[in-house]
Amino acid sequence: MIVVIDVGNSNIVIGVYEAKKLLAHWRIGADKEKTADEFGSFFITMFESQNLDMKNVEAVVVASVVPPIMYSLEHAIRKYFKIEPMLVGPGIKTGINIKYENPREVGADRIVNTVAALEAYGGPVIIVDFGTATTFSAVSSKGEFLGGVICTGIKVSVDALFQKTSKLPKIELTKPETVIGRNTVANMQSGIIFGYVGQVDYIVKRIKREMKEDNIKVVATGGLARLIASESEEIDEINGLLTLDGLRIIYERNKQ
């Protein structure tokens, strides 16, 4: 078995694979104050809940965009799995040609998603990852990471609206039945959800125009992908496990 861990700004997603089969996966909050033993306790509890033996884990692969979490997480992996973690970063084989001005600036999660998308769908492909920030990654038919776009995430937009206004309430992120809302909450939900759909579709159209390729597939991932994709005219596929699959593939390319 291998364990794959995607450390994001809001959540940490953990998966356990047996070869290409995903046996279990979990999502926890990305708490920067969590200790190594707290991570260890979580691993023990979750493995026991799925009748999985931690002793059978041969590798742990981690992609992180949150450096403050890594000291405790790496220590937990060494202590509880007795394994040195494989960290996605410089020196790791991905098979991706990064066309960024400074390749080291590209988030590990975006590279991992690119690896998985090319494996599953081929290129050209646009990956839209709905996380704390929403990222758009453009990948050519040659498997090149061309660059993309970074936008404020949906939840960040909702929190900002609540925090920066005196009378507007904090709302649940659900899609209203109509664009024209007849109460304040419905007005806010309409603005956030449909406004974000419009933003996504416009950006994707502009990226397609600049890529100048045919048959570009658009894949959405991340916790809120389904909410936006249900209204989007540009998103073709939803793959909530894209990052976990990418970590598994990267392990296969580097395990020797």
CA dist., res. 119 & res. 112, Å (int):
11
Strand-strand pairing, 133-139 and 125-130: antiparallel
SS3 93: coil
Q: 115: closest CA among 84, 149, 92?
A: 92
Which residue in 109, 214, 236, 245 is the catalytic one? 109
Q: 14: closest CA among 243, 255, 250?
A: 243
Dihedral angle of Cα 193, 195, 201, 204, to the nearest 10 degrees: -100
Active site annotation includes 31: no
CA dist., res. 235 & res. 254, Å (int):
31
Q: 76: closest CA among 47, 115, 111?
A: 47
Give the catalytic positions in this structure. 109
